[in-house]
Structure 1
Amino acid sequence: MNAFFTALSYLTRIPAPISTERDDWVKSPCHYPLVGLILGGVLLIFDLAVSSLFPSLVRGALLTVLWIYLTRGIHLDGLMDTADGFGSNGSLERTLEVMRDSRVGSMGVMAAFSVLLLKFSVLASLATDAIWIALVAAPVAGRLALILSIRLFPYAKKDEIGLGMKKNLTMRPLIYALIVGVGVLFLTTGWFGSLLLAGTLAVVWIMGEMSRGRLRGMTNDTYGATVEITEVVVLLLCLWYGGARL
């Protein structure tokens, strides 16, 4: 349970006991899809409370803001750093230096604006029955993409905890995470879950190969970017599947 609480406190603002033990941190990734399900559940409950009070545009904006708040924007920060680093067109050392810089550049601002605009517009356009599916599927798919990235691609830094997470994501915890993540996608969407899974795998592969080619592996920032892009892709697929409210 300590590993689960560590995952919950790291990925969200939802109150949970915080562990300082290294073992709890390195064992936490297998719980990421479950954390995504909890995050989706909170968003769903909030939407149920406000859906009858506000028009669709305000509803979409409120959901987007709450989504950022609940995750503390950590994945969005990774997306901005990744966009700045990849947009610098410099050497490996220069790219990592730009990504470590706490200041946000123009590429990072444009990336964040684009992702948030897409999330808002999709959430404002989805019909009620489709938005409830999207609010569960997108956070789960994003965290599923995160553990797949950790498992499938090398870690570029020599960070002890980051390397430990990859080392401890062995077959048994990976299978548990896949059962939760893939199971939720199929239970909430039926056969359409296969398309959502395909979209998730496509983002993981593209981001992983780009990171391997540019940085010789994934970093915490590219993990965050992968989560954000996966969520957008899944939301867009849900919009295509569920239809828009025009």
Structure 2
Amino acid sequence: MMNSFLRALQFLTRLPFGKALEHPPALSGDTVAWYAPVGMVIGILMTAIAWVLSQWLQLPPAIVGMVVLIIWVGITGALHLDGVADCGDAWMGGHTPARMLEIMKDTACGVGAIVALALVLLVKFSALSALLAQGDWLLLVFPPVMARIALSIVICATPYIRSDGIGRSLPSTMSAKAIGISGLVLSLALGIVSLQSFIIATVASALAFLLIYRCLIKPVKGATGDIYGALVETAEAFVLVSLVVGN
């Protein structure tokens, strides 16, 4: 169990927890149930950093938002932003499912990638700054957790369509029951923090999924690692904005 959590932590973040572990395909599905707990780790770190910068150093919300976002990207190693870039190019330039998938595999960045990255980061920075200006730094635990709950559900429910991608072995080795329990436990934890915010964040996550489904999953009839990354970043952005509007 602990090894599965550490593998998930090492895969989804650049945090130096323990020695590097191997990620054998036969065990890769075990880590999916730990994606939401990893999101909680990220959220707690972001909350602590925001509290120190806001309450202790008394920095302006915009500066705190900028620093938190930079550290957030650093902690995840821009893993999910890579998916945003690839999907941005694919959505803009792919007029057929085959072409979309081809563009996602291309390492070059086009206009779609640049625009998608800029918009996502702009939305997250603006929402972070507004949320911190309201003094709601504790709500920073919501976006990374809700996004990874959504990711876990999509991995469980959506076919992975690449035969050579990093997620090809996930569906056959993961446990839907474990994913459900993990999502439920983390949802209860967020509900304790703020039931209203949890409901708002749940709606926002659902809207983010619908957008990704309509623009990416439905056209290619499945998911890829890039689509997973785009879902995480989109859900985080939607949740951040919804928390600003709803609180």
Q: TM-score scaled to structure 1, two decimals?
A: 0.91
Three-state SS of the structure 1 residue aligned to 2:194 is helix
The one-letter amino acid of 1:132's match is L
Distance 1:13 1:128, change over 3 A: farther
Check whether the contact 2:7–2:21 (CA below 8 A) recurs between aligned residues.
yes
RMSD: 1.8
- Corresponding residue of 2:105: 100
> How many corresponding residue pairs?
241
Please state if 1:166 is matched with 2:171: yes
Distance 1:210 1:163, change over 3 A: same
Distance 1:14 1:91, change over 3 A: same
Three-state SS of the structure 1 residue aligned to 2:36 is helix
Moved over 4 A (4+): none
Q: Distance in 2 between matches of 1:55 and 1:194?
A: 29
Three-state SS of the structure 2 residue aligned to 1:163 is coil
Check whether the contact 1:40–1:137 (CA below 8 A) recurs between aligned residues.
yes
Three-state SS of the structure 2 residue aligned to 1:162 is coil
Q: How does 1:82-101 map to 2 (within 5 A)?
A: 82-101=87-106
Distance 1:49 1:37, change over 3 A: same
The one-letter amino acid of 2:31's match is S
Check whether the contact 2:28–2:170 (CA below 8 A) recurs between aligned residues.
yes
Q: Distance in 2 between matches of 1:173 and 1:138?
A: 21
Deviations 1:192-222 (CA, angstroms, capped at 9, x unpaired): 3122112212322332343333212110001
Three-state SS of the structure 2 residue aligned to 1:178 is helix
The one-letter amino acid of 2:9's match is L
Q: How does 1:93-172 map to 2 (within 5 A)?
A: 93-126=98-131, 127=133, 129-133=135-139, 135-159=140-164, 162-172=167-177
- Corresponding residue of 1:230: 235
- Corresponding residue of 2:44: 41
- Over the matched positions of the two proteins, sequence identity in percent amounts to 28
Q: CA deviation at 1:171?
A: 3.0
Three-state SS of the structure 1 residue aligned to 2:228 is helix
Q: Distance in 2 between matches of 1:160 and 1:60?
A: 34
Q: Distance in 2 between matches of 1:226 and 1:218?
A: 10
Among candidates 70, 73, 77, match of residue 75 of structure 2: 70
Q: Which shows bigger deviation, 58-67 or 181-190?
A: 181-190
Q: Distance in 1 between matches of 2:137 and 2:246?
A: 11
Check whether the contact 1:26–1:168 (CA below 8 A) recurs between aligned residues.
yes
Q: Which shows bigger deviation, 156-165 or 144-153?
A: 156-165
Q: Distance in 2 between matches of 1:129 and 1:166?
A: 41
The one-letter amino acid of 1:215's match is V
Ranges in structure 2 where 5+ consecutive residues have no aligned partner: none
Q: CA deviation at 1:55?
A: 1.3
Check whether the contact 2:35–2:149 (CA below 8 A) recurs between aligned residues.
yes
